[in-house]
Amino acid sequence: MGESFELDVDWITAGAVGEPGRRTFYVQGRQGGELVVLLVEKNQVRMLAQLAAQLLSRVDVAVTPDDLDTARQALVDPAVPAWRAGTMSLGMEADGERFLLEAEELMEPEAVGEAGTARFWMNRDQLVGLAAYAAYAVEAGARETCRLCSRPIDPISGHVCPASNGHGPLTV
């Protein structure tokens, strides 16, 4: 059972550390001196960026490459997560000025107690920055894909392609 948090953030980001194929993804939000770090999956960061762009488009705001500020949005190091996020959702208030990212802790089936929750309230500009950096972080680690099966190729160990009938690593 993890701790629960509710922050009206003055800074928020979603990104990754590590080499492509071995990256670890995080959501980080800060209010004053309190930094909350959640461990998340790459796909959660991808979906967060996409959903943020969709919500912002409803209030006539587009996320563009000009919105990317890698110095301002970079993850704070060291990233020590409170817990791993299971479900995440993103919503906005009716006026489209404030947005809420909610995450619930991923619990083991045999765990007792309530899952931790995190609620990050942010304004429109903060969501634009989050969306731009999250999309950048996902794409920055894109690995080369196999020309035969389209699966990612590990830069160190290569790739065992199903099309090679298991005849060892295929390096492309």
From 22-36, 48-62, 146-160, the region with the lowest mean pLDDT: 146-160
Bigger pLDDT: 162 vs 14? 14
User: Do 95 and 23 share a structural domain?
Assistant: yes
Domain that includes residue 161, residue range? 144-172
Band (pLDDT 50/70/90 cuts) for residue 149 is confident
Q: Say if CB 134 and CB 143 are below 8 A apart.
A: no
What is the C-alpha end-to-end distance of the chain, expressed in Å? Answer: 45
pTM for the whole structure:
0.82
Does the pLDDT value for residue 108 go beyond 60?
Answer: yes
Element (H, E) at 17: strand 11-17
Q: Are residues 30 and 106 in the same domain?
A: yes
- CATH number of the domain encompassing residue 129: 3.30.2450
Number of independent structural domains in the chain: 2
Q: What is the pLDDT of residue 166?
A: 56
β 83-92/98-105 pair status: antiparallel
Residues 12 and 95 in one domain: yes
Task: Look at residue 170 and tell me whether its pLDDT is greater than 60.
Answer: no
